[in-house]
Structure 1
Amino acid sequence: MRAIPLVPLLLGWLALPAHADDAQDRLNRLAQAEHQQSYTGTFVYERNGSFSTHRIWQRVADGKVREHLLQLDGSPQEVLRVNGVTQCVSGTLEAGVSSVPDSPARAFDAARLSSWYDIKAAGTSRVAGRNANVVTLTPKDQHRYGIELHLDSETGLPLKSLLLSEKGQLLERFQFTDFSASQPPTEQMLTPSADCNAVQTVTTKMDNARQKVGWRSDWLPPGFDLSSSASRKDPDTKNQVTSLMYDDGLARFSVFVEPVNGAAVTDIRTQLGPTVAVSRKVTTQKGEAMVTVVGEIPIGTAERIALSMRDDAAAATSTN
């Protein structure tokens, strides 16, 4: 499941040049704040022309980061996460949850990200009545999106972010309308409702990920590495489904591989806001399989990744 992100992504209009070191320092501060700062707030999330409002509570205590998210309009939706791993969900979010745990992104490394993004400080702004510093991350290639972050001057946390396509189109907006870091949330605020259903997860050992799942990619965008992998049985088809998750330290995508077993399947190419889904059928010595790439990357990049997936036992051949 892709829960509403705390840090969605972006690129915008303020343009007061500053040293790259200043921007990297602010990103490094953001990385620390996400794991050290308690807060409460209300934010608006915009995607594909639709808006939703959410309440969020985060408390950092005893080495744990607990995050409780509640949608305030539309159908009730709720998420509880501990250290980035989903514990329970409710509403329509349940349909998107798998038994594979959320993949924590690698430690936020501004210096490493500078290999793939042009990182700049771009002036100041004011969001939810608070002063913010603006940082832009402009991709150096066509395989990822641009980001504009408005980071709270006091805490370093993101008060607003914009995610833009390679053509400069707004794909996603995240913006606090109310934010407070003065008091940590109470236990009651962090307690989910009875409608929040527990998520059962399975894990695999990263050191043996390739041997366990049996699939690999012959091509990845520069900077993207395998962050986790798992294999599970689909309760409906009874097929063994392989999942692989990749990230560049900021952007991420997942690859799912499932045997076709003679079933009629159709290639898919679709995009909703920043999220793309591309499915392609491939043929291996073990039979036909459907490869699906899902993530916040350009659709052309997702298609190339899907066609590059190979069965470790034998090279897969596209059935285009």
Structure 2
Amino acid sequence: MLTTQARRLCRWLLAAATSLPALTLAASCPGADPEALQWLDRMSRSSHQTAYHGVVTLQRGEDMQVMQISHSVNGDNSSEQLTKLTGQGAQIVRESHPLDCVHTGHRLLQLGSNLGAGECGVAEYYRFEVSKGERIAGRQAVRILVEPLDMYRYGYLMELDSETGLLLKSSTLGRGDLVLERFQFADLSYGSPMPSSADVEVVHEASHPLPDSAMSTADVSGAWAVGWLPRGFVVTDSRSESNGRRTYTDGLAAFSVFLEPLSREIRSGEGIAREGSTLSYTRGLSLDGQPVLVTVIGEVPVNTARMVADSVRWTQ
């Protein structure tokens, strides 16, 4: 579970440095808020390019986790350390991540020249509203309300550092603006990272394999594909067609689809488990007579996961 939390924090703690001309944005994307798009572009850069450290909280219902996070920048590389301070002591370390390595989620928020070409990115799938935020971890914030334009994704309430664009607080909003999950800095400092003060029992080194060299997650005979996706979601990896996983993002939300062959038919039905904004949806299917188990895990509503799972098909 700590690995899942780390991936989510890495998505939330994206990055900020440059802004875009408001007139260009308004002309290219008349339905979008130019100021909001500027802040999204800044947010998508800040944590990647800025050295900082602090303590964050992650709340899901009654459950509250506290973590210490450090991010350092050394030349053309960055390093991160995420240490869990509650429950079992555990730590995730990622060393020497190239600053010029831009992942799919970052790229979808770094709108840049795409806006000038009339591509509005996430502004086609979300509505944004900018206002003055609160003080968080001693920093004045800018608040961005993110409302989905369809039923296939969640909304967000974000608070960004008004000076750096770093994400200070994020709430994931379900139907009726119900807060499913909340991440927030309790303490934040910029500059050289502080050493970990936790008594760590487990250390996990986060891997960063090249897409084409990644190992398969399941022994799947035959190529398969997801036939339906919510608008705006794109695949994030270029793995071999023979593996058992596909991952998708729209820049703000992400989910993965797993396909596992079964040796025998199982009873029809579905399994659903939720933890905060993260859903695990499992369904047994028969594809051309081959029994398989399809699992969708990610930050999407259950109806989205169900429709994605039902659309899985063999491609040959």
TM-score tier (shorter): 0.7 to 0.9
Deviations 1:232-282 (A, max 9, x none): 9xxxxxxx8601000111111000001011175763122221111111112
Question: C-alpha separation between the residues in 2 aligned to 1:201 and 1:24?
Answer: 29
Question: C-alpha separation between the residues in 1 aligned to 2:96 and 2:147?
Answer: 29
Higher share of residues assigned helix: 2
What secondary structure does 1:121 align onto? strand
Matches within 5 A, 1:1-320: 1-4=3-6, 5-6=8-9, 8=12, 20-82=33-95, 105-107=105-107, 108-109=109-110, 111-181=120-190, 183-185=191-193, 195-198=202-205, 203-205=210-212, 214-228=223-237, 230=239, 242-262=244-264, 264=266, 267-285=270-288, 287-313=290-316
What secondary structure does 2:4 align onto? coil
1:82–1:104 Cα change, 3 Å: farther
What secondary structure does 2:310 align onto? helix
C-alpha displacement at 1:299, in angstroms?
A: 0.6
- Tell whether the 8 Å contact from 1:271 to 1:299 is kept in structure 2 after alignment: no
- Tell whether the 8 Å contact from 1:84 to 1:104 is kept in structure 2 after alignment: no
Q: CA RMSD in A?
A: 3.2
- Tell whether the 8 Å contact from 1:40 to 1:179 is kept in structure 2 after alignment: yes
Aligned-residue sequence identity (percent) comes to 30
Gaps of 5+ in 2: 14-31, 112-119
1:150–1:34 Cα change, 3 Å: same
Deviations 1:97-139 (A, max 9, x none): xxxxxx7524123541101110121222111111111111111
Q: Match of 2:110, as an amino acid? A: D
C-alpha displacement at 1:301, in angstroms?
A: 0.5
Deviations 1:123-179 (A, max 9, x none): 221111111111111110011111111111222101111110033110111111110
What secondary structure does 1:74 align onto? coil
Question: C-alpha separation between the residues in 1 aligned to 2:253 and 2:75?
Answer: 29
Q: Match of 1:283, as an amino acid? A: S
TM-score (norm 1): 0.76
Question: C-alpha separation between the residues in 1 aligned to 2:206 and 2:167?
Answer: 28
1:31–1:311 Cα change, 3 Å: same
Gaps of 5+ in 1: 10-18, 86-102, 233-239, 314-320
